Amino acid sequence: MGFETPPSNWYHIAMDNSPTDIPWNRPSLWCEANTTLARTIHCHHTDMAAAIQTAGKIRMRLESIFPCMDALCRHTCPTCTDNCCQRAWVWADFKDLLFYHLAGITPPEAQLLGGRGEHCRYAGPFGCRLDRFQRPFVCSWYLCPAQTLILQNTPADRDDLVTSLQWVQAARRRLEAQFIQAVFNPGEAASYDAVKG
Ligand code: SF4
Ligand code: SF4
């Protein structure tokens, strides 16, 4: 099975992006995006059944791997000297917003970053201050080298984790497609079956 974690220089690659690539990086934009999305879902609620079901399954699948991720963090983070959250160049994307709104998760108060040179506003001295469900999926997707090393010695846990992360990644794409179809082509919404798992 391929172990598709981001490359170790993922944050450097992302740093090549312009600060304007960060969506909704001002409080007013973040507020507008969330308000508009909530209103859109409300207006099309009867056509959102498949998307809501997918979001619920994503939530359950994530919940199933959080204990493993918590355990990895307990083993590696307290002694880490190169905190990934202090140098991460990541943010919530549209799929993350969809997940929050369709799975009943309260979105973070603001986008993670406002612009170049900033650290994630949720990185605290004792780790991330967001509930795991509120973190952008990229934060769950990233397994650092120390954690990858531990997983090499626990192949069953590694396989479970990788399988689930890949499942969630695919389900997020399906979630976006179901949302778009519900809004722009509601007559066809039923043709998108809920994802299995
Ligand atoms: S996840 Fe890894 S790189 Fe990030 S703070 Fe924990 S030990 Fe350090
Ligand atoms: S949201 Fe949390 S996990 Fe993600 S980069 Fe910020 S502090 Fe780290």
The string of pLDDT tens digits covering residues 118-171 is: 999 999 988 999 999 999 999 999 999 999 999 999 999 999 999 999 999 999
pLDDT at 4 over 80: no
Under a CB-based contact definition with an 8 Å cutoff, are residues 23 and 111 in contact? yes
Mean of pLDDT over the chain: 88
At 105, the pLDDT band (50, 70, 90 cuts) reads very high
pLDDT at 186 over 90: no
pLDDT digits (tens, 9 = 90+) for 64-73: 999 999 999 9
Q: Is 111 in the pocket of ligand 2 (CB under 6 A)?
A: no
Give mean pLDDT, residues 165-185: 97
| Predicted local confidence at residue 184, as pLDDT | 93
For 18, 50, 78, 137, 185, the CA distances from 114, given in Å and listed in that order, are 12, 33, 27, 19, 34
At 21, the pLDDT band (50, 70, 90 cuts) reads confident
Give mean pLDDT, residues 87-105: 96
Instruction: Quote the CA–CA distance of 181 and 156 in Å, as a whole number.
Output: 37
Q: Is 113 in the pocket of ligand 2 (CB under 6 A)?
A: no
Which residue's CA lies nearest to atom 5 of ligand 2?
85
Which residue's CA lies nearest to atom 6 of ligand 1?
77
Locate tokens 């509601």: which residue? 186
Instruction: Quote the CA–CA distance of 125 and 128 in Å, as a whole number.
Output: 8
Which residue's CA lies nearest to atom 4 of ligand 1?
84
Give mean pLDDT, residues 163-190: 91
Domain ranges of the chain: 24-191
Instruction: Quote the CA–CA distance of 88 and 13 in Å, as a whole number.
Output: 11
Say what percent of the chain tops pLDDT 70: 85
Instruction: Quote the CA–CA distance of 165 and 184 in Å, as a whole number.
Output: 29
